[in-house]
Structures are given as C-alpha cells and as structure tokens.
Chain A
Amino acid sequence: MKALTFQQILDKLQDYWEEQGCIITQPYGLEVGAGTSNPHTFFRVLGPEPWKVAYVEPSRRPDDSRFGENPYRMQHYFQFQVILKPAPPNNIDLYMGSLEALGIETEKHDIRLVEDNWESPSVGAWGLGWEVWLDGMEVSQYTYFQQMGGLDLDPIPIEITYGPERIAMYLQEVDDFKDIMWNENVTYGDIFERQEYWMSVFNIEKADIERHQTMFKLFHEEAQDQIEEGNYLAAYDNLLKMSHTFNILDARGAVGISERANTFRKMLHLSSEISSKYLQERKRLNYPLMSKNG
C-alpha cells in the first residue's frame, strides 16, 4: 500500500472524527500559535455545554523560524485538533482507532503515553496528559484540560493534537519536511519553502521593532475597549493579535525580562475577563448546546 499523502492524512483524520460524532470546522483565520487558541477550543471548553469538534489549524511560531533549512522545524506548520467534552472514558481507545484509520497497525508498534503536561500561563490554562510515542516518535499531544482563562473546567474536556507533518514524515519515510508529498505530485516544500524563508527573514531579522511595539499597544487598547463594551469576541481577536505581535517581538530578541512578565499579566487579565464574559452570556442564553450532545 502506498503511504498516505499529506492531504490524505488530514482527510482521514477528519473523516474518522466525523464518524465519532465531531463537528468538523475550519481554521480560525488569525495568526495563532496552536489550535488551542481557536475559539472552538478556547471558549467551548468553558462551561457545562458538551462539545465535540475537530479541525485543522495552521499554526505560527515565529521563534521557530529556521529559513526552511532545518529539516524538522518551521515557523508555520499544521495541527490537527480534536476536543471531546466531556472526555469519554474510552477516549484513548478512540485515539488508537484514529491511528488505525491512518493505516498504522497498532499491534505492530510500540505505542506509549509518556507524561507531558501543558501550561499556558498567559491565558491562565493548564492540563495534564501525555505525548504519544509511536516507536519513540512523538506523534500527538494528549491533554486533560483542567483550567482555561483562570477558571476550573467542569466537565473536563480532552484535547488531542496531532502533528500531521511528523506523521507524514513517518509514513512516507522522508527526513525533511520539504520532501513530504502533499499530493501525488506536489511536495510540502513546493508549497511552503519560500514562505518559510521569507517569513523567517521577517520574524528574526527585519520586523520593525518599534512599529510592532506600537501595534501591540494598539491591540491592547482595542481589546480593553471591547471588554468595556461587553464584546468578548472582538476583545479575543485583539488578544490573539497581541499574542502574535508579542511572539514576533520575542523572536526579534526585543522583549526584556520584566516586560515579558508584564505582558503575560496583561494577557492573563484580558483572557480572564473574556472567559467570564463568555460564560455570563452562555448562562443568559440558557446554555443552548446543552441538549445537543453529539
């Protein structure tokens, strides 16, 4: 059997989780560092309403800019994200099923769950879980969320995040992300090599520090104003923009120590306000998703 192409991997995961009753949605469309920042995760894990969702999230980490030269690391990559809320007792079996769907016969591999916990202090979030090893290679992150926006979660959701590039490199037996077959003819490198190069130049060398500092300030002001208005969603968009702007400043080496701590405090404050405004509205609407489990 021929190894799956990159786009087939995304398709198979999407189909599999659709069969498990997940809503299939699309990427958010703003720069985020991980699928967790997509509102389909950030907001929906809060509160009592059940939620099952799967989506692809293009993710950006300016600090990982390597000009496309490092075979394993990119400033722009993909995550395949699954949220199951509440976490069903058989969730690990479900996950194993998804590997089978990718053509990985689990009986032929050493599959292990190795402790790996997750924490994002700037959005007041943490969870406990594992990284999943397939013959020693980390192919997914697995987290039982405990807090988001500084609030205890109830019920507890599970987040499963696949690294589709890792999985593709494993299945296709290639040693450089650029060699991943996206479809039968076109490689990942054909599509993204130039993007890696130019965005690395920007992130690490050329992004204008002063302008980014100004932008950060403007986004912050906007976010605060929107919270005043009660518009938690517009505030959240501006929080995401702050976060990405900060990450670029960080990659440029332009963030001092106390500045970093200050920034995290600002973002934590905003995300707590945003979360509680969201929850207030859900309550006012009488939790419309309560009756739509799966």
Chain B
Amino acid sequence: MADFLLEIGTEELPARHCQSILRQLSSSQIDQLSQKHNLTFDKLEIFVTPRRIAIISNQVKQSQSKLTKKGPLYDVAFTNGKPNQIAQKFASSNGIKVDNIAIKEENGRKFLFIEQDIAGNLSQNIRDFTKDTIERLHFDRAMRWTENTPPFSRPIRWFVCINGKDIMKFELYGLKSSNITYGNRFQKSPEIKISKAEEYLNLLEKNFVIVDHRKRRKIIEDSLSALSKHELEKAPDPDDALLNEVVFLVENPVPILCEFEKQLLSLPGEVINSVLSKHQRYFSLIDSKKSKTSNKFLVIANFDKDSPTVRKGNERVILARLRDAVFFSEQDQKHSLKDFIQKTKTIAFQEKLGSMFEKAQRIKTIGVKLAEKMKGADVKKVSEAAKICKADLASSMVMEFTSLEGIMGRIYFKEKAIEEHYKPRYSGDSLPEGPTGTILSLADRIDSIYGLFSIGKKPERNSDPYGLRREAIGIVRILWEKEIPITIDYLISAAEKAHKNKANQEEVSAFIKSRLDQYLEESEKYSIDYNLLKSVINNSDPLLSNKKKLLEEVVKESDSGDLKQLLESLKRIYNIAVKNRSHTTCTIKSSSLNESEKALFESVSKLAKLQDKRKTLHDLFQYTDLINKFFDENMVMSENTDERNRRLEILNQAHSAFEKYFNMEFLLS
C-alpha cells in the first residue's frame, strides 16, 4: 500500500525529457540519494507524466534516528566533576554545548558521549532529498524561469508531499509543499485535494490523469491492436519511437479514429506517414486487406472521451497538411533534376566544407574509388547516383518535411540508392541493400568524418554536434555485416583525395576503429571470452570482413582443444619475440636451416604473403605442431650468435604473420 507520495508538479515536460528522467532516476541513483539524506523507502516507484514526476513508496523512514559518538575518558576530560579543556574541545569540535555531553559507562569505565538527534525533521530530510534529486537531473537543454531555482527542463510549479495522512511541509525554491495537486489541462487544471497518500493514483485517474506511464502505454497499445477489427494496423514504427513519445504527450490518452479524404491517397505513402507521425505525432495506419496506407489515422488525444469536436479539429489539420504536401509536390513537378542540383549550391553542409552540391561531388570522387575495389559495383552507376544523391534536399517537399530526405529522391529521380545511402539511420536500422547505395553510404559518412576532422571539428567527450559517432558506427556496421572487402584506411585515403584540408589519418582511423569495439561489445552474437574477442578485433588484419570470418570460426571453436593449443604456442612465440625485439635482423637462407626451422620458416613465409586473403582457423591449427616442434628441437637463445639471430628472426616473422589473426597482447594474463 502506497503510504508516501512526493509529486513534483511542472509545466509540460518534453516527451524525451520524461524518458530521460526515468532513465536517470534509476533505483541505484535513488538509493544513493535516499541514503545521503537518511531516508529509507520501501518499494519505491517513479511515474512521469508531462506535468508531474511522482515518487511513491509503501513507507518512508529515517534510516537512523541517532548518531552516537564516543569521546575521551571521563577521568581525563573532567576535573573535580567539572568539564575541563579537553571536554570543551570535544564538545566544540562536534558543534554542541558542553552541557549536552552524555556520560556513559562502557566496560566499567566512564566515557564522554555525544548523542545527536540527526534525524531532525522528516520533512526536512525529504526536502533535501527532493532538492538533490531535482538538481542532479540533467537535460540536453535546461532553462531558467525565475531567480533562485536550478536550471530544469521546464518550470517547476508545485510540490505535493504526503506521508500517510500527514502533509510533509517544506519550502523549496519559494514553493510550499501541500496536499493540493492540479488536474488535466483540458479541465483547466483544477485543484485536487489529496487527503491521504494511498488514494493518489485513483483520485487522479478519476480526474483524467493517469499517472502511471506504463498504464498509459498499455491503453495506447490496446487501442492500436483493437484496430484489427477495422482491418487496420499500425504502420511500421522503428523502435516504437512514436509510441514512446506519445505516452509522454498526454496525461489521459483517448484514442480517436480519424480520416482524411481518399483522393489524398494519391500522395506517396511515405509522405502521408511522415506528415502524420513525424509532424503531428498521429499513428499512420495500414489497410490490412490492401496492405497499403489507409486514409484513416489514430489520434491519441489528451481528453476525457472520443469527441466529434476534437476529431473534426484534428482532421482539418491533417487535411491542411496533406493539401500543403500536394501543393509542394506540384511545385516540385515544375522543376527539373538540373534545377534541384543547381539549388543544392545554396544549401549548407558546413561553412568550411561548403554546400551540399560540393558534398555530392566529393561523394562521387570517393564513391568511384570505392567502386573500383568492390565486386558487383558499377563505377558509372555510382558516379551518376552520387551526383544526384543530395538533389532532393532542394525540393519543396523535403524543405517542408525534412524527414523525407532520401525518400523523395528515390521517388522523384527513380534512384533507390538515394534513399539507401542514408541507411543505417539509427541503431538497429537496416543497411543499404544494393551495391550503389552501400558505396554512397560509406562515401557520405567518411566524407563527413574526414572533412570535419580536417577542419578541427572532431567530436569531444560530451559533444558530437555533427553526429560523427553515428556516422562511424554506420561505416563499421556496413563493412562488418556486409563483409565489404574495403579497409578503413582505404576509405580514409579515398576521402583524403576529395578534401582540400588534411586530417590526421591515424586519428580518423582510431576514431572509426573505436566504434568497432563498441559495436561488437554491444552485439550479443559473439559470446566468447572478452579478451579473446578483443584479441581478434584488434588483430592487424585491416579488413573487417576477415576479422568477422575469423571471429565466427573462433566462436565455433571456442571450447575446442585445438584453439587452446594454438593460442598456447602463439604465446610462446610472443613472449620471446617481444622480449627480443631489438635482436639483429638477418636474412634467412633456407639452405642453412635445420629441418624444424625450415618447416616453420617456410610455412610462416607463405602465411605472410597472403595479403588480402586469409587462412581459415582450421588451417592455422596445423601450425601448432610446427611451432611446438621448433621449440622442442631448437634452443632459441643459443650461444652461437648466428643460430640465435636466425631463430629470433624466424620467430619474429611468425609473430608478425600471426598478428593478422590474434593480437596476443590481450591474451597474456
């Protein structure tokens, strides 16, 4: 039974801030804060609506009521039954008067004690807890609204705090806590008096505020599934982004099924979908029978009931928006592809890196270099598609509905690669399918990364205004998942040719590679020993496709003895080769080698000559015996200088050749 309530009342919080508050107020964070303020909450729950953050608990207690501190011996601190300097000092250093010192016996000896009522007042603890909670929340953009308040997402307007039936009275930021909360906006935010904490959720629900965001979500989800009886279903909503947002746009979700005139269905489905969901936060629907966009859509209103007035209003808005889209589409029809390309000269990419026109030209230069390396890619097609890949940014439709970038390009200029080159747009998004789209996606991303690094705009720890981390993850995912035989360094050198300013190659390369680590660590596909994973990812093979193949083989063999033995023998090589890095290098003559030296030397030479190609893990297993035999039969640190040097040389070459497969540094401990 919820017996404690703290409600922080606000003006409308942005939906993404509501989500962020829930993430930030994790149970460990709350534990830490409550401990700090001497509070213990039993079964604590946090709910967020656009206008309130509610913290509810079965019970709140002060963790400790008294703090006891032992001081000096009575005999030392008292002279003739009166406190002396030592007692005075003990009292003053603890901030109390000497009269308030207690004297108690412990094991037959008398000591001075201080017993402080640290609990103070429960309201005060809660006030400090509230203050600390509010001030720890941080937002991408916070605001000030009056003096003496910390920056917050939106203005804080009231506090409700009730323990059982008692109002916990405190004052914070000039607001006095009370038992009065405020209802839904459409009802003119009426005052609602809460007489006990346990009635809070029900009372507010009666007043059209569903405080529990999970419950609001459920209502919306249910209304979406209920559409099946009208043979309708929700249009694809990646990551449930729209649903998650709408939950925090309303306090009392009421589904209202609306429609627009059928002739507007002549607009492309993507346009309708974008207008509905991105610009109005309505659910765009699919006609299940015809499996295409329906002229019906679902509005989640913040209201008490399905209402003709509200429906009519929303329908008129969509009518206006879609007619606007028709207007823009007609405007666009008046222009040729050439006009659009010309107009991209006035659209900025970045001040020093020029316009979108210039970006498209660079994408072309880079794309052509990539196409030469990639099987199935057509250099001419890549070059043609690159020229037009940013043209739709100049269309009225994209200027008005920005989320349609790429999509309008595909529709207007009949080129799939234009839409594909924006993929993947977010984590978990699909990758470009065709070779042209794939190349353009890589070229566009490396152009942004290289270009911004070249003018000193690399991402900082907490700031990545151009989204370069996302661009880098895109590159890594494409190279890895599609097993593209192009190295990161090749991408960088292609970008270098397209740019006036030079970036630090190693820095760019390290930046992209660091995303590979992150991507693979987050991927659940490769559940093997972490150090083994790192040793493969960080091998010297520049091709991600090769790393991937090896990693997959390693995952399969992770329990096999063959793999263990191979790694053991590689460790032996590593230990000697690295310790003796500075040995005198020498040219090895096959004729002067003994049998086991020769066997290892020759097979290592073959391994080193593979370049882009690779041996399978199975092939590598055959080396275990060669290596072990080499060590069994030869004393590496021989007294004979010639012998020693050539053996170290062989091991050194073996070390380099195997580094392409395993970076042993990660496997030593």
A residues with CB within 8 A of B: 66, 69-73, 86-87, 89, 92-93, 96, 106-115, 117, 127-128, 130, 134-137, 144, 146, 154-156, 170, 173, 175, 253, 255-258, 260-261
Contact = CB atoms under 8 A, between A and B. Distances in A.
A144 B309 contact: no
A77 to B, nearest CB: 15
Interface stretch (B298-306, B419-427, B626-634): B298-306
Contact of B186 (A69, A109, A128, A256): A109
Contacts of B146: 86-87, 89, 155-156
Most buried by B among A93, A115, A134, A173: A115
Nearest to B347: A257
How many residues of B sit at the interface, in one of the four size bands? 35 or more
Contacts of A154: 144, 147
- Minimum-distance CB pairs A-B, first 9: A135-B313, A115-B14, A113-B12, A136-B314, A261-B351, A110-B301, A136-B317, A128-B143, A257-B348
A4 to B, nearest CB: 17
B313 A137 contact: yes
Q: Identify whether the interface residues of B are mostly helix, strand, loop, or mixed.
A: mixed
Contacts of B185: 96, 111-113
Nearest to B346: A253
B320 A106 contact: no
B143 A144 contact: yes
B11 A113 contact: yes
B249 interface: yes
Interface of B: 11-12, 14-16, 50, 141, 143-147, 154-155, 157, 185-189, 249-250, 280-282, 299, 301-303, 307, 309-310, 312-314, 316-320, 323-324, 327, 343, 345-346, 348-349, 351-352, 354-355
Contact of B188 (A86, A96, A137, A173): A96
Contacts of B155: 89, 144
Nearest to B352: A258
B187 A107 contact: yes
A130 to B, nearest CB: 6
A73 B146 CA distance: 36
Contact of B157 (A89, A144, A156): A89
Given A108-B307, A112-B250, A156-B145, 9 more contacts: A70-B327, A71-B320, A110-B303, A113-B50, A113-B185, A128-B141, A128-B143, A136-B317, A257-B354
A256 B144 CA distance: 36
Contacts of B349: 257
B84 to A, nearest CB: 54
Contacts, number: 122
B307 A255 contact: no
Nearest to A112: B302
14 contacts: A89-B155, A109-B313, A110-B303, A111-B186, A135-B317, A136-B317, A137-B317, A144-B145, A170-B313, A256-B346, A257-B348, A258-B354, A260-B348, A261-B351
A106 B186 contact: yes
Contacts of A146: 143-144
B359 to A, nearest CB: 11
A136 B309 contact: no
Contacts of A155: 146-147
Contacts of A136: 280, 282, 299, 313-314, 317-318
Contacts of A256: 345-346, 355
A173 B320 CA distance: 12
Contacts of B250: 112
Most buried by A among B299, B307, B312, B346: B346
A112 B281 CA distance: 12
A174 to B, nearest CB: 10
Contact of A108 (B16, B143, B309): B309
B302 A175 contact: no
A248 B312 CA distance: 38
A106 B303 CA distance: 11
B12 A130 contact: yes
Contact of B154 (A71, A109, A128, A258): A128
